[in-house]
Amino acid sequence: MQRVIETHHMKLHLIQINNNLLESKFDLGKSDCNTYSYKSNWERLNIGVGLLKLTHTNQDYYRENKTLSHFLLTLFDKNTPLMILFDNLETAFRINTDSEIRKAKFLFSMLKYPWLVKTGKILLQVALFIHFPVRALLKRNIFSHFCGGETRQECEPTVERLKQYHVQTILDYSAEGGESEAELDAVAAEITALIKYSAQNPAIPFAVFKPTGIVRLGLLQKIAEGASLSNAEQEEYERARLRFTALCDLSASLQLPLFVDAEETWIQKPIDDLLLEMMRKHNRPRALIFNTLQMYRTDRLEFLWSLTENARKEQFFVGLKLVRGAYMEKERERAVKMGYPSPILGSKAETDASYNKAVEHCFEHSDIISVCNASHNELSCALLVELIEANHMDHSDTRFWFAQLYGMSNHISFNLAEKGFNVCKYLPYGPVKAVMPYLIRRAEENTSLAGQTGRELQMIAQEQGRRKSEVGRPK
């Protein structure tokens, strides 16, 4: 298995070089042609070979592969499974009506402009503060694109639509937790009801919750810093711990795997500790409690190695959801302000490498690790697909899952589901006003992720063109 992983790691590196051409323009220096834009795999192949010949960091690969151009030709040929894996846009957008696609085009067109997202965020916060009636407008637009509804019941039609195309759903109560015990208890009560509801629906294979929805952030921070707690804070922590463990106990009793989302680095340690305790308790004979690893963190690979070693020694199973991370700018700003080294990797390339190493590690240790590859990155998804297929494993092996957010990356979700892989869409729900912090993060992430919004718009345009070309197609 190790040789398979090494081979696919090399292929992934070569693919990444060519994939970068989709997200930016390269100046080839001495070439008379200043910059290029690439529209086809053939163009990417030709320039990719040139880049590999010219780039010093890849000379080892080039020397080791004397027929590199033939290797790349195989890799990037239009009939190569890796390249056509996500290319079927008819499959990707089959669930969407023409009007839904037009709305998606409008939303992603707005998300292209960082200044517009920042301005919109400020205006929205002001509107909500002064109780300006924007709820109906929000619900018809950005809310309906990224969310399933305000209640579990409102999500049911979307869950059924996704099920028709072999895509399952993770209902995510996305209202942010408050500061008072009453607010935290209310969120815990909703998650409790959600777990019971999800366990009765085969189309909902996981439950999920966000720790700061049920535990006060300031309390988590104080525990993470090792500060002593007052008597009142100790009592508060015991109540918070009870909420946390009760959700894990309930989900495990119903045999419903439970994802626990990751938080900022400065409050994550007590969450990791609780989840390790819950894995030891419930993850026998399979993984039911899942931690979330943000692979843009500098320490997460070492954490993964250590967790795997502990699981083998203590004979419990590990459940992991892998993500790249959601708080990059906040983490870096805090590190600068407080004068400590950034806990975030320095570049996207480093984050990609960290993420893909985690995928490979989870696959290599899949006798004790179940993993959800929760990524919008085509290459990271393709890596797990290739490892599964190269080792002749069943596409529906329940140790391996893929997940994307509702309203994004349909070309990944629906094409993988079409081929029989286990795929979920994260479907947020909750009151419009309460879910707005979540929606603002989605908007900011789409603006900051290089190429994400552009890819969405390009695929939407291609699908609209395909639909227009269909003679006699009902509109």
pLDDT of residue 146: 87
Cα–Cα distances (Å) from 358 to 294, 305, 364, 466, in that order, read 10, 9, 10, 37
CA distance 380 to 369: 18
CA distance 331 to 198: 33
Answer with the residue of higher pLDDT: 73 or 19: 19
Answer with the residue of higher pLDDT: 1 or 284: 284
- List, in sequence order, the alpha helices (H) in 200-258: 217-224, 231-253
- Structural element, H or E, at residue 186: helix 181-199
Asked if the model's pLDDT at residue 464 lies above 50, the reply is yes
pLDDT average, residue stretch 273-299: 97
Cα–Cα distances (Å) from 221 to 37, 217, 224, in that order, read 47, 6, 5
pLDDT average, residue stretch 288-317: 98
Asked if the model's pLDDT at residue 452 lies above 80, the reply is no
pLDDT average, residue stretch 303-309: 98
Residue 444's pLDDT band (cuts 50, 70, 90):
low
pLDDT of residue 38: 32
Give percent of the chain above pLDDT 70: 71
Domain locations in the chain as residue ranges:
2-84, 148-432
Mean pLDDT score across all residues of the chain: 81
- Burial (CB count within 10 angstroms: exposed 0-12, middle 13-18, buried 19+), residue 434: middle
pLDDT in tens, 93-116: 999 989 888 888 877 777 666 655
Answer with the residue of higher pLDDT: 25 or 359: 359
pLDDT in tens, 162-171: 999 999 999 9
Answer with the residue of higher pLDDT: 460 or 73: 460
Query: What CATH class has 148-432?
Result: alpha beta
Cα–Cα distances (Å) from 444 to 255, 270, 326, 454, in that order, read 36, 28, 10, 14
pTM value? 0.82
Asked if the model's pLDDT at residue 398 lies above 50, the reply is yes
